Amino acid sequence: MERFLKDKEVKPNELSPLTLAFIGDTVFDLLVREELICDANRPANDLHHLAVERVRATAQAQGVEKIMPVLTEEETAVFKRGRNAKSGHQPKNVSRSDYHMATAMETLFGYLYLMNRTDRILELYRLIYG
């Protein structure tokens, strides 16, 4: 996976953590969806339910525990920026802690994607779901 709009300049270090999480959410979702369709040809409704189980904040927060030990210093700093970001809202049915951890992971995935470090994204994703 690499950036589609390579001709567009972007400076991930200058973007807010929530902006990074905005794109990181999609990157993570695409990985989950691709893995699900590669595993089996299923009805779309089944795929949707399986994807939701993996991309919900609680599941992402559990994944964070698997990747934290291998994050570089730079990645940890980006992760912490995302974890500490103030979003202004609390979604239903998820703890505040899980929500912040999920946002942090999405921030990291967004940062790595915009930095064209897609091999690293895949490495982290495989630690979560490998």
How far is the C-alpha of 110 from the C-alpha of 97, rounded, in Å?
20
In 3D space, the residue among 61, 52, 40 whose CA is nearest the CA of residue 103 turns out to be: 61
Q: pLDDT 10s digit of each residue in the chain, 130 long? A: 788 888 899 999 999 999 999 999 999 999 999 999 999 999 999 999 999 999 999 999 999 999 999 999 999 999 999 999 988 777 788 999 999 999 999 999 999 999 999 999 999 999 998 8
Question: Among 18, 1, 75, 19, which residue's Cα sits nearest to residue 10?
Answer: 19
Residue of 7, 25, 29, 119 with catalytic role: 25
Q: Is 25 a catalytic residue?
A: yes
Q: How far is residue 31's CA from residue 89's CA, in Å, rounded to a whole number?
A: 26
